[in-house]
């Protein structure tokens, strides 16, 4: 099984393709039964993102991470206070809103 640092490196490489200003990524836990990876994903204060929607930033499947196929990735997404979201500005709201968090899962097939 891959180590936490190896999984973190794979996720960093995958999300780097998003052309975002970068995320804070921490693999919190890896379990083999059931095969699950828990990840903290931070939208960082002072950086500008198009939005913080999982469908825009996170994979819907693990096809681009073949070493993790069969795992479920449970994303704990944290939008930090001061992270700037362009979608808010499009709605006539201030670019940086209050922080919030949400959960999302990418389920890998076997």
Q: Where are the domains of the chain?
A: 4-107
The per-residue DSSP string of 78-102 comes to EE-TT-EEHHHHHTTS-SB---EEE
Q: How many CA atoms lie within 13 A of 107 on its CB side?
A: 2
pLDDT digits (tens, 9 = 90+) for 79-108: 999 999 999 988 999 988 899 999 999 997
pLDDT digits (tens, 9 = 90+) for 41-78: 999 999 999 999 999 999 988 988 999 989 999 999 99
């Amino acid at each position: 099984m891959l180590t936490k640092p190896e999984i973190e490196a794979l996720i960093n490489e995958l999300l780097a393709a998003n052309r975002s200003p970068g995320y804070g990524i921490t693999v919190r836990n890896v379990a083999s039964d059931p095969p699950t990876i828990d990840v903290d994903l931070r939208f960082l204060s002072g950086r500008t993102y198009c939005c913080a929607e999982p469908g825009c930033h996170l994979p819907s499947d693990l096809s681009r991470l073949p070493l993790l196929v069969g795992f479920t990735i449970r994303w704990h997404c944290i939008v930090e206070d001061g992270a700037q979201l362009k979608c808010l500005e499009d709605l006539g709201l201030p670019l940086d809103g209050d922080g919030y968090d949400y959960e999302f899962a990418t389920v890998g097939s076997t």
